[in-house]
Amino acid sequence: MSSAGRPGRSASALEPRARSPHRSAAAGARLRRRQRTERVFRAAGQLAIAIGLGFVIVLFGSIVYQGKDAFTQTHLRLDIHFDPSALGVGASATDAELAQADYPALVRNALAARFPDVSDRKDRRDLASLVSTGAPFELADMLASDRSLLGQTRSLWLTADDDVDMFVKGKIRRETPAAERRLNDRKIAWIDALTSDQRVERQFNAQLFESGDSREPELAGLWGAVMGSVYTLLTTLLLSFPLGVATAVYLEEFAPKSRWMDIVEVNINNLAAVPSIVFGLLGLAVFINFFDLPRSSPLVASLVLTLMTLPTVIIASRAALRSVPSSIRQAALGMGASKFQTVLHHVLPLSMPGMLTGTIVGMAHALGETAPLLMIGMVAFLVDIPGGLMEPATVLPVQIYLWADSPEKAFAERTSAAIIVLLVFLIAMNSMAVILRQRFERRW
């Protein structure tokens, strides 16, 4: 076959192919530069996250390190003789007589029997100060619950003074000059003698979770603040959740598009950014001064926190409603359901997980608020445990504020312990929000 008869390449195919601009050296350099920039940006982001996590770990670590000792309290074991003559009562004393008895004398006598060489009046007063001022009340409760103790001798663990507790925990060092520490050498010698006799022991500090506030650090507890927080948050939840959900449903599903609705939506978004202390001023002016509601009560606190959390609940609920596909609404309407039935039976149940998540996050925000509650008087010193919404109370953030402002060294570790308790509440509430989101969330 001749060469003319063989199929041959076209003239265009025989020409050299033009080099693609995307394969040029300049394009390769630009690509490598972009990749290098991307790697630097990714590394910078990872470094920022690592630095942030490092600061968080250092912060939480310092709080835990300083507050862990507050969960234990030093106790002294003394041989208490419930002597009727020392109490100033008879062998068959009535409850009223026992309530007025001289219980500090029992502590003084027990210490005097343990250290008989202490005779000076000032030294005996210093010796008695090793035991907490709350110890006589512990003895009174014991005798009130068991009348058979009268006339008997029992070896009892009594709460030690806060300075003794700080010394046992190493917060007060014996190497410190005597003029700069709260315990003199004589007191340290007595503590050493009790320690060598196995009469000093650190026990779980149940007082921290069973009692209210106190001027004495070893007697101060969180239970009053915890109950105040519980009353306040429960009432806030009962007020903010239905109001926020109802408002979101109306604005998202039923409200007509108008300039008035645009103004309402803008103001709701603006209220979410208002400083919390402004809501405290509003509560002071309206709920306390105008409506004459009791100051420092959980009811006023819950009303103030409801106003503060409503924008958050409304915004989160509207976002949850928008996440429901429009096909759900169209299908329900196509089957003959009314607009109200569509929202109530289809849209609202499907958006409820997102609403609950937003509400819990709002409640967690309200739990950590201090400024608005200071404005309505919840900063007062309160010893009693609140028994209702109208009784004076305080909350955990305010209790932390009060203890942080106290000069006693023992209150520093109790402040950190209260922060740990508050963080546990916040982590639990945020974990609940995450669980609800993962458990009930539907992806469309």
Closest CA to 82 of 131, 144, 161, 134: 144
Q: Is 93 helix (H, G, I), strand (E, B) or coil?
A: coil
**Which positions of the chain have pLDDT values less than 70?**
1-22, 441-444
Does the pTM exceed 0.85?
A: no
pLDDT of residue 3: 47
pLDDT of residue 188: 92
pLDDT of residue 14: 46
Give the whole-angstrom CA distance, residue 239 versus residue 237. Answer: 5
Cβ atoms < 10 Å from Cβ of 83: 16
pLDDT of residue 438: 76
Q: Out of 1.10.3720.10, 1.10.10.60, 3.30.460.90, 2.40.160.210, which CATH number does the structure's domain 223-440 have?
A: 1.10.3720.10
Cα first-last separation, the chain = 68
Give the whole-angstrom CA distance, residue 217 versus residue 42. Answer: 49
Q: Where are the domains of the chain?
A: 73-205, 223-440
pLDDT of residue 244: 93
